[in-house]
Structures are given as structure tokens and as C-alpha cells.
Structure 1
Amino acid sequence: MSEQEWRGRWEAARWFLSADGETGKRHGNETLRITPDGQVFIKLPAPLADLANAPHGRYTVSARASFAHCGREWADRVEADRAVAYRIHVDPARGRWYVDVSWQRPPVQTISLEAALAAGVIGIDTNADHLAAWHLDVHGNPVGRPRRFSYDLSGTASHRDAQLRHALTRLLNWTRHLGVAAIAVEDLDFTDVKTREKHGRRRLRQVVHGIPTARLEARLVSMAAEHAIASVAVDAAYTSRWGAQHRQQPTSTPAHKTSRHEAASLVIGRRAQGHGARRRTAPPRHHQSDGAGHRTLQARHHGLGCEEPRPARTGGRTRSAAPPGA
């Protein structure tokens, strides 16, 4: 670019005006005030009071502001005089002025784990370029086929943030469509010394850099709370290894082969429900049970079915006479 273009971009990066809001003030902000119909008022300082074109030392912008994203929620806050923050800045490439609005959300309400998992759970495996998700019922069994929500984390920070937000939006919409009220994500922690010894320091940096753990956690909690969906964090130890060992081959079909990440999402969802990763356990020793014994983990004590003890039979088993003393 030319020197004039560079200087224009350099100056545009410093042409901005921001003001934090305050609850109780008119439309939630005393310095930068935007009415629900989009009219912008700026409170001028004393040296610039002669430039005011509205009462009380304010300057009215001729253009109207509109917010396509979360516009209804913003209008509700402005009408209720709740705090909103604004930032006015210029884009030199397009030659346009923009206004950004933001506000602080209330703390996320926590619910019991039993209530969150009452309708099943969505297990999510986080990767560098996609989210692998699988729907599990209340018994820990997979329902349907897994889903994959891809994103591209290359480019600018705004592009990466938009890609991550779009992937999470599709994930939450799919969760709401299924009627599930909880999602299970792995709590990734790369500060453990064992993790460094496992991957190596150089490999560890590549893994941490490729997975957007901090942004994903912050985005997921805030966006899931808006959809009334609970987030359950589980231990991420050996989810990929055990998923590939115990879940990848049994869930694969001739038309669709289950990937290692999809199998890991199944293990993550089962771990949130308190189930193990294995499908079956080793049978008990013969001196502790009759033969091989029962070995299925999913069986419940109140639903044994054909495995329940047989009722005691009275009387003779054959047509012959009973032996003496029987």
C-alpha cells in the first residue's frame, strides 16, 4: 500500500470512542446513548460544548444504528435502562463507521447433575478443526449416528471467533432439536507434568496451539446458558485411547466407519453419566459365581429380565412317586 493508505489505516485504528454503561441511567448509558429506534446521542465534554446540536450538551448523529445480531435482546435491555457498553470505530477499507454494543450476562445458574442428565447427554470431543458429538440416552447407549461440526481457525482473530461461534451455534441448535438439556465436554488441562512427558515439549505446544480450549470453554458456557443447556466437564484422560479400543469397531457400519474422535465423544458422554468406557467386564471367577456369570455393565438390578433367579418349584418334577422324606 502507499504511504497515504498506510497512514489512513494507522489513524483509523486510533479513531474510536467507547463508554461503559451503568444500570439505572437513561437507556443504560450516560455518555453514549442509543434509543431503541437507533438514534445516537453523544455527551460532549466541556471544551466541545459549542458543537452540540441537542439539549444538555449532546451531539446527535444523523445516521441510525441497527444491530442485526441479538437486536431484540439489546432493545429489551435499553428499554429497561440496564447497563450497555458502546464502542464507535471506523473501517478505513470500507470507509464506514460502526458501533459495537456489549453487556455483561448474569451468572450461570447451576443445576444438579441428575436433573441435567434426565433426558440424556451430548458427548463432545474437541479437536483442532472440528467438534465430534454423539447423542447418548439415559443409559449411556448411543442414539443415531455422530455429528461433526467443522471450523477453520486460520486467518484473523475475528474470523476465528466467528468460525468457533458458528460451530457452537449449530451444535446447540442440534442439541435443542433433540430435546437434550446437557452437553459433556472434556476438561483439558495441559499444565500437568505427565502431559509434557507424554507428548514432549514441542509436541505439547503444537497440541495446545491447535485446540482452542480457553475460547471454546468461554463461548460454550455463555452460549449454552442462553439456550438453557447445562455444561458438564469431565476428565479427559484416555478418552481417545479407550474410545478407539472399546467403541470404534462395535459402532462402525459398512456405510459409515466411526472415527477415533467420534468414539472419544461417546466415552466422554458416558463418563459424564458415570458409566465406564468398556462395553463388558471380565466374568467373575468360577468359585464366586456359577460359571461365567453375568457380565453386561448396562444391566440394572430392577430390570434383570431373563437373568433373574428362577422361582422355586414345589412338588415332584416327574410323574414318578416322590422319594421318601421328600
Structure 2
Amino acid sequence: MGDLRTIDAPFVALGPTGVAIRDRLGHLTATDEKVLRLVGAHLGSLASRDLKTRCQGGSGHSTDTWAARKRELTAESSSRWAGSITKATHDQWALSRRCQLAHIQGLEAGIKTITHRLSQPIGERGTKRAPGGYRSEREWHAKTRRPATLEDRLEHERADREKGVVHVVRGGKHLARNRHNLEAAELTETEWRQRWEAERWFLAADGESGKHHGNETIRVTPDGEVSIKLPAPLAEYANARHGRYVLAAKVRFPHRGTEWADRIEADRAVAYRIHLDVDRGRWYLTASWQIPPAKTIPLEAALAQGVVGVDTNADHLAAWRLDAHGNPIGAPRRFFYDLTGTADHRDAQVRHALSRLLNWAGSCGVKAIAVEDLDFAAEKTREKHGRRRRFRRLISGMPTGKLRARLTSMADQTGIAIIAVDPAYTSKWGAQHWQKPLTSNTRKTTRHDAASIAIGRRAQGHPIRRRTAPPPHDRSDRAGHRTVQARPAALGREGPRPRIPGPRTRSVPPDAARTRATRTSTTVRDVRSEQEWVQDSLLLTDEER
């Protein structure tokens, strides 16, 4: 037991801090699309130029340089467009800095892992805590060269970080690389160009509280009318007062539309983004706003009515309901999803699986769902697992962080709390203590089902094992009750099971209980035994009364 790592205590995950809803801009005219393309291309060029200026400034950026950038952009757009562009530039630069730090940490971990594996004998088996040696002399010799490559990259990244240099591609690095591999990406040059230009457009405006409908740049009225403040060079396309262009399309937000309407009627800030789906040829409008994080309820209150333990896997969620004492109730449930295909398809699959999970948990009456606090950042490196590409691809495809964030956001509207638990040994101990006892001729309990029980019990604070050691034989109450399934304050935990009237086997007729209670015995011994067996006075005969 000394080799086991410390298990962190479970905690209630924080609720969402923002809301984003989307609707399609349907029935746009040819002029509407032309204006949207012109505005997006013009503001996109300004955003690219501003990002270049910000990256050149490095870590020496100051308020004066930000004001100078905004004044330069205002002359070619507007004050509010300039504010949105500079804010987006700052966010993108900060994200690149965080990714740069994560890359440096990954290089350091890779060098450390290779150094450790090179120090191990060839063929040495690894453990859960540390990988073993390489399998052959050839692989060992090849890996002796890799630390030099990683150290060179690490030195370069550290130098860039000290200078404040970041590398950003507006439009995405993946799409930029596809330009040189059009056949592998199954794209023509024209199709790639359309995607590239659409990704580099800028049609996003931050909200501002106190302004008309919460946004002066992209304004949406309660009846769904969308209007855009045109930049100064495109003012000739205005079809409304004050240099605005009103789209022919009307928007309606079926999801959380009431909340959105309440915000804009109160002139509270709402941010909007317009983007084009090139594959479908459709325009969409996304509205987003910030909300105060919901106060988390105490862990004891969330677990008062039981919990649903959920084990996250590569293709499904394994769930099992547990009562307040940690006992599994009913049958396990599995919610499948397919993580192949496009990002939109994967996101829709995960969202559908979580919706079914929340609906089932709500029908069970529980107020908490327990999930593992997984993080595979250090587990999916090629330096640790080597040639195990299938395993690395498996854990890389599991939606761990995004799944919990989306589950927390979706559960916020249902009143169900999300409890994050330490994932250590849940699959191993769950299979050891729960898989075989819950397997029968009519139900096959998988390792994942047993892990969901372990996750739920850990969230409740119960040990994962089914029973503790029995008490000493000399005194049955010296070490307390032997089972951990019921709390000490639970009524009847030491008593016998309640007797259920009626026959115990199928061979006994249904009226056997009344027949045995009312028949006349032939001997004194039989009468005495019958009277001892009868418990209810209502079943006594008239002669016995």
C-alpha cells in the first residue's frame, strides 16, 4: 500500500461563466452577401496588420502602444470596430503565449522521459509510474540522437519566450499546410482559397452595457432584425441611417432566446459574431454574453439523493446509479458516441450523449453526477509510450476536458451538480471488487460499468471495496459493523431483513399461507408450531380467539 499515490478529495465543479447561442442567417440577398464579404475582408486585413504589429512589440507592449494601434485602426473603420479588433489581437497573442509555454513543458517532459529510458536496461519492463527501457539495441541507439533534437527545439522556444516572440497563423496552421497538400486534403485550389479567406475574415463585435440593445456595432433588435455599422471606406453601401446596413434576414434563437431577449431589452452587453460555413454555403450569427458563475452547493447536499457514476471511454459513457449508501441500483446504462469525422460531427455526438445522460439522471431523481478529473496531457506523448500508436491515438481522442466543461454547462440548467473525482485506480479496483459480483446469467457487467461504481463511491466518500474486514470473533461489536454499505445512523442497519408474506417457492400454491394458518392440527405439537409461526393476530381463527 505504500506504493499507492495519494487520492485527491472530490469536489463540485464550477458552473459556466458564459453563454453562446447560434442561429442561421437565412434568406440573404445577393447584396447582403456581397456586403458581408466586403466588410469581413476589409476588417480581416486590419486584424492581420494589427496582429503583426502586436507580435513585433513582444513583451514590451504598453498602454501607449495600444492606444496608438487603436487610433490607426479607427481611421479605417470605426472606434468600436477598432476596439473589437485590438481586443481580439490581445486574446490571440495571450493564447499563443500559453501554447508556447505548454510546448516548452512538453519538450522538457520528453527529454526527461528519454533520458530515463536510456538509463534502463534493454528490455526492462515499465510500471505505472515510469516507463521501462527500450526493446532492442537498435531502438536504443536511435533514441540516443533524439534528445539532441529536442534540446535544440527547447533552446529555440525558450529564446523566443524570453524575447516575447510568438508564432500565429490567422486562418489556422492546419489549413495553411493544406495549401501544399491539396491532393491529400481532397481540395482544389479554389475550394482551399474560399476556406482560407472565410477563416481570415473578421466580423465580430464586443457588446457594451448601456448602449442600444447591448451592441452598437452589430445590433440585433428583439424582433430579429440585424444591422451592421459599416467601416468608413464602405459607407456607400449603407441602406439605413448613421452608416448602417440592415440585412434582409431575421434571426430567432430557439435555445435560450428568452434570456437573450431579456438582456437586449435591458441594454446589457451581448457580443455577436457572423461567420460563413463554406461547406454548406450558409451564414450564421452567434450571440454570447457573460454570466456570474453559479454558486456550487455543498458536496453533502448534492449527494443526499444518491449519485450517478460515469466512466469516460473512447466510444461511450458507462453510467450506474448509486443510492446514498453507495449501493448500485438497477441496471447500468451506456451512452455511445462516434468521435470520427469532422469536429462539428464529434461535437454533436458528445452533446447528444450528454443530453441523454442528463435526461436519464433527472428521471432517476439524483442531483449529482460523478466524473473523473482526467488529464492525458502527460500520458499521450510518444516519448512515454513509444510505438504504442494505437493507445496514444485512443487516449488522444477521448474528450476529457471538453466533455467535462460541456457537461458542466449543460447540467447548470437542470440543477444537477457535477462532481470531479480523482481517477486513480478506479478501473482496477472497480473490476476487482464489483465486476464479478454484479455479473449474472442475464447481465454481463463490463470493466467500465464496474469503474462507474468506483467513481460514484469515491465521490460519496465510501471505500471502493464492497466490505471491510469482519470484526473479531470474540466480540462482534468491538470493531463496529462489518459492512460499509450503510451509515451508522441508518435505521435497521443491524436488524434482519423484513419478512415478505407469501410463498418462498413456486411449488407452494398462492393461498398456502392462509391454509397453514387456519387448518386444525391433529397433535399438540403441530398446533404449537403453527402458533409460533403466525405473527399477525388478524390471521388467527375464531376458535383461537
TM band (smaller chain) = 0.7 to 0.9
Q: In the alignment, is residue 233 of structure 1 matched against residue 420 of structure 2?
A: yes
Residue aligning to 2:276: 90
Residue aligning to 1:143: 329
1:283 maps to which of 465, 470, 473: 470
Q: Secondary structure at the match of 2:290?
A: coil
Amino acid at match of 1:40: V
Cα distance, 1:113 vs structure 2 = 0.9
The separation in 1 between residues aligned to 2:448 and 2:494, in whole angstroms, is 35
Residue aligning to 1:100: 286
Q: In the alignment, is residue 14 of structure 1 matched against residue 200 of structure 2?
A: yes
Residues 62-211 of structure 1 correspond to what in structure 2 (within 5 A)?
Answer: 62-190=248-376, 200=385, 203=388, 205-211=392-398
CA contact (8 A) 1:42 1:58 kept: yes
Q: Secondary structure at the match of 1:114?
A: helix
138-147 or 69-78, which moves further after superposition? Answer: 69-78
The separation in 2 between residues aligned to 1:126 and 1:152, in whole angstroms, is 13
The separation in 2 between residues aligned to 1:181 and 1:86, in whole angstroms, is 34
The separation in 1 between residues aligned to 2:243 and 2:458, in whole angstroms, is 61
Residue aligning to 1:38: 224
Cα deviation 1:161-184 (Å, max 9, x = unaligned): 121111111111212222211111
| Gap change, CA 1:175 and 1:24, over 3 Å in 2 | farther
User: Where in structure 2 are there 5+ consecutive unaligned residues?
Assistant: 1-186, 497-545
The separation in 1 between residues aligned to 2:214 and 2:273, in whole angstroms, is 14
CA contact (8 A) 1:286 1:292 kept: no
Q: Highest relative contact order (Cα 8 Å, sep 6+), 1 or 2?
A: 2
Q: TM-score, normalised by structure 2?
A: 0.51
| Gap change, CA 1:54 and 1:292, over 3 Å in 2 | closer
Q: Secondary structure at the match of 2:245?
A: strand
Give the RMSD, CA atoms, in angstroms.
2.7
The separation in 1 between residues aligned to 2:406 and 2:358, in whole angstroms, is 11
| Gap change, CA 1:235 and 1:12, over 3 Å in 2 | closer
Amino acid at match of 1:7: R
The separation in 2 between residues aligned to 1:293 and 1:6, in whole angstroms, is 71
CA contact (8 A) 2:325 2:487 kept: no
Cα deviation 1:74-102 (Å, max 9, x = unaligned): 33332232322211122334333222222
The separation in 2 between residues aligned to 1:178 and 1:291, in whole angstroms, is 38
CA contact (8 A) 2:376 2:396 kept: no
Cα deviation 1:220-278 (Å, max 9, x = unaligned): 22221222211111111111111111111222232221111111101111111111111
CA contact (8 A) 1:283 1:293 kept: no
CA contact (8 A) 2:375 2:401 kept: no
User: Where in structure 1 are there 5+ consecutive unaligned residues?
Assistant: 308-326
The separation in 1 between residues aligned to 2:417 and 2:329, in whole angstroms, is 19
Residue aligning to 2:52: none
| Gap change, CA 1:92 and 1:281, over 3 Å in 2 | closer
CA contact (8 A) 2:369 2:418 kept: yes
The separation in 2 between residues aligned to 1:234 and 1:11, in whole angstroms, is 44
Q: In the alignment, is residue 306 of structure 1 matched against residue 495 of structure 2?
A: yes
The separation in 2 between residues aligned to 1:224 and 1:280, in whole angstroms, is 33
Residue aligning to 1:217: 404
Whose helix fraction is larger, Structure 1's or Structure 2's? 2
The separation in 2 between residues aligned to 1:201 and 1:233, in whole angstroms, is 30
Q: Secondary structure at the match of 1:265?
A: helix
The separation in 1 between residues aligned to 2:475 and 2:387, in whole angstroms, is 50
Residue aligning to 2:141: none
Residue aligning to 1:321: none
Amino acid at match of 2:424: A
| Gap change, CA 1:299 and 1:207, over 3 Å in 2 | same
Paired residues in the alignment total 304
Amino acid at match of 1:123: G
| Gap change, CA 1:91 and 1:271, over 3 Å in 2 | closer
Cα distance, 1:288 vs structure 2 = 6.0
Cα distance, 1:190 vs structure 2 = 4.1
1:242 maps to which of 418, 426, 429: 429
Q: Secondary structure at the match of 1:78?
A: helix
121-130 or 9-18, which moves further after superposition? Answer: 9-18
Residue aligning to 1:323: none
CA contact (8 A) 1:87 1:101 kept: yes
Q: In the alignment, is residue 297 of structure 1 matched against residue 469 of structure 2?
A: no
